[in-house]
Amino acid sequence: MLNRLREKINPLTARLGTKLGTLGFSPTFWSTVGLVMAIASALSFGLSYQFAGIILLSPVVVGSIFLLISGFFDIIDGSIARATNKSTAKGSFIDSTYDKLAEIIVFIGISVGGLANPVICLIAISMSMMVSYSRAKAESLGIDLKGIGLGERAERLLVIAVMGLIPITNSVEIGTIIVSILSSFTFVQRLHYTLKKLKN
């Protein structure tokens, strides 16, 4: 769903990519910044039980903001690579690996911080990885799954970030449950789509 939105804002991200590309940093540098922001998000979530009520901003809100920033760099690193003509297989591999690592770290932080039941976190991350794996395996068989399913990585992390900004009890746990459902549904969608294509 957000991939379709990303296509509409491509002119904007392309301009941002061009401007950031003039700073001289490689696309992998910006991918690393995104990963660092995800780690900061996870730390904020994970330490929320220690700092709740002590600092001005809720650690959950801080974690959600870091997660949104991480998502921004996840979008922009590809634009920088294209703008600077530095798109490489190595960079693509690093970016994809960082994306999965970031997602795992964030859910670990949520679990450690007691913001969601650990079992729910386990289901969420397991099904999220199955969504990613199904796409990778299908693409190795020549089947493109881009845009297939509602719960791709961008949607999953956006749900967590937005829910973390909502001042209601157990908002992050609700978000984790939503991610679990979206991921499971998306995996089934991709499984069905791939099997259908393989019959032809």
- List residues with catalytic annotation: 99
Q: Give the integer Cα–Cα distance in Å for 4 and 108.
A: 29
DSSP single-letter state for residue 170: T
Tokens coding 128:
């999220």
Tokens coding 90:
């190595």
Per DSSP, the residues of 30-73 read HHHHHHHHHHHHHHHHHTHHHHTTTSSS-HHHHHHHHHHHHHHH
Q: Is residue 136 classed as helix, strand or coil in its secondary structure?
A: helix
